[in-house]
Chain A
């Protein structure tokens, strides 16, 4: 299957700092990438849908000014958590949708980034 990478895999930062997470599709082009957040023992919560070359679509309750998403190319999307606070500590996972027509519509997940804000 397709490979999606995320960087960094884990990060610890002080409250008030910003953290950038990268999501890359390594062997395919992804017009659409998704960003999720998962708290312990809970389901994945979709934060936003990122489309290459256009603004991200945020789910209700997700602050677009706090979670900045940039999808500058067909293989890279970034999520920046601005002015992070302890309640932002979570497991952030991206996924990429394989281009329609090349395979059945499937999304492949990155390995996730564990963010801890002190």
Chain B
């Protein structure tokens, strides 16, 4: 089982749609969780950290479920500019980050 797993997609949605991604992790001792966004041929950029209580940033909501060992990202009112690959990142006590393979999102008009 991979340490961090994501559905690669692609998720193909119309503008204005709500879309959700899940990410599961295998190490129950994982401590920090993040969502990054990566555009084609660019470096990943931090989208948001994921806190135990869940957190929201505009149209983006991230949640953590430690019991089931997964994190989620919800995007409301999708924009064309949201098209990208979304990477789930999990770190443990040593802070060595582990990346998921990413979920591809395509928002079409």
Taking beta carbons and an 8 Å cutoff, which residues of A are in contact with B? 1, 32, 34, 42-44, 46, 49, 91, 93, 97, 104-112, 114
Contacts and interface: CB of A to CB of B under 8 A. Distances in A.
A46 B96 contact: yes
Nearest to A106: B46
B72 interface: no
Nearest to A49: B96
Contacts, number: 40
A108 B46 contact: yes
A105 B95 contact: yes
Given A43-B87, A43-B100, A43-B101, A109 B45 contact: yes
Interface of B: 32, 34, 41-46, 49, 87, 91, 95-102
Interface centre among A32, A104, A105, A108, by most chain B C-beta atoms within 10 angstroms, is A105
B76 to A, nearest CB: 23
B43 A109 contact: yes
Given A106-B46, A111-B42, A32 B100 contact: no
B44 A109 contact: yes
Contacts of B87: 43-44
